[in-house]
Structure 1
Amino acid sequence: MALAIRDVREHDLDAVLALNNAAGRSILALDATRLRYFFEHADYFRVAEIDGHLAGFLIALREGSDYDSSNYCWFSQRYPQFVYIDRIVIANAYRRHGLGRIFYCDVNSYAEVRVPLLTCEVILEPRDDVVVLFHGTYGFQEVGQQRMSEQGPQVSLLAKDLPSYAYVRDTYLQSGGLPDVPWLAERKHLIPSNTTQRRLAGERRP
């Protein structure tokens, strides 16, 4: 089995949309417009490809986006820097084989050299104990709860401290930036996100 985790490409979008909308009640449905927004603005949008087949994807955004998700906004109101995991979807044929952990390791590696906090939410209605346990064993802790809308589900807001960030900030981010190597590179956006625009402008945050 040949596994590749790579940045999404435009020709993947139809398959990503179909995979998302077949995932069931635990994943909010997408339309083509929302998916295009992610393609153009998400700081992290990677897919898993196994033997040439799309096996899953994960989408995450940093602080400073105009993303209108109520959960993203909850974190934006409380934390100055974070990476927010909006969704992870694994195709049925590839579930329960560790692909979710591979994605979380990858997004963790992306986040820990950029921000002090990795965040997400878990839907509690209906509660999926496998999902709750997965996040708990990966180091996430609940920092709040909210109802997504008047008729929406209750969610648990989760955050994971990234202790490596302080070292990276002090050693690299405050003195020239990250080394210019492929595994540390930013995703290439069609339209630069707010955080990308800040970095291009030379802004440094403590």
Structure 2
Amino acid sequence: MSIVVRDVREHELDSVLALNNAAGPAILPLDAARLRHFFDTAEYFRVAERDGSLAGFLIGMGADSAHDSSNFRWFRERYPDFFYIDRIVVASRRRGGGVGRAFYADAQSYAEMRYPQLACEVFLEGGNDPALLFHGSFGFREVGQHVMEEAGVRAAMLMKPLCSYPWVRDTYGDALPEVEWLTRRRVPAARAAQAAAALAPRPTGTCP
């Protein structure tokens, strides 16, 4: 009955897509190309397993991402550095069983080593008190509201300060220790390709 949170695998993308598009109006729909873009570029893309089956997923990225969401841009116009939770989806049969809290604990353990704040939004159309209560109980507070230009939906913009970050930054700077729980995260395909190109031997006689 334990919940396992781990990096998404490429062969699971179809199942993730179906889970997203069955989530209802609180989550914007995706198509396969958009989900593939997240797989290739997202800094954090993890799934939860419970009893051997997919129970949900969470996608997130840092403030320096090229993400094109208007909600993401709203935060970036106002805050210099943060980790943005683009979407979290929990399968309907698993809601209320701790999967959401497991995701947020995992995402926070990742983010607080690298960012001073967590950011996300909750759609307000039609009433969404359970989601607002969940985020409030996890330490998020509303910092404004925004109507998404691409969907016409009003969202409460939420942020949570990550109190461990200043100590981590002052102690380690950008050189975090090479311990498994910090380094085992996925490297997006696009970033891996860039890293491989940077390490490839250069033809002799060329400038760096």
- For normalisation by structure 1, the TM-score amounts to 0.90
CA distance in 2, matches of 1:138, 1:34: 29
CA distance in 2, matches of 1:139, 1:74: 20
CA distance in 1, matches of 2:7, 2:16: 12
State whether residues 72 and 84 of structure 2, in contact with CA within 8 Å, keep that contact through their aligned partners in structure 1.
yes
* 1:51–1:150 distance in 2 versus 1, CA, 3 Å: closer
Look up the match of 2:31: 31
Look up the match of 1:184: 182
Structure 1 residues without counterparts, runs of 5 or longer: 201-206
Look up the match of 2:54: 54
Look up the match of 1:120: 120
- C-alpha deviations, 1:29-87, integer Å up to 9, x for none? 00011101110111111000122211100000111111110001111111111100001
Look up the match of 2:3: 3
CA distance in 1, matches of 2:88, 2:79: 22
Alignment root-mean-square deviation, CA: 1.7
- The code of the aligned residue for 1:39 comes to F
> Among the aligned pairs, what percent are the same residue?
57
- C-alpha deviations, 1:145-170, integer Å up to 9, x for none? 11102761111100000110000000
SS in 1 for 2:45: strand
Structure 2 residues without counterparts, runs of 5 or longer: 199-208
SS in 2 for 1:80: coil
* 1:30–1:173 distance in 2 versus 1, CA, 3 Å: same
Look up the match of 1:103: 103
- The code of the aligned residue for 1:191 comes to A
Of 67-76 and 149-158, more deviation after overlay is shown by 149-158
CA distance in 2, matches of 1:165, 1:151: 34
CA distance in 1, matches of 2:125, 2:2: 36
* 1:93–1:150 distance in 2 versus 1, CA, 3 Å: closer
Tell me the matched-pair count: 194
- 1:5-154 mapped onto 2 (5 Å cutoff): 5-149=5-149, 152-154=152-154
- For normalisation by structure 2, the TM-score amounts to 0.89
Stretches of 4+ aligned residues off by more than 6 angstroms: none
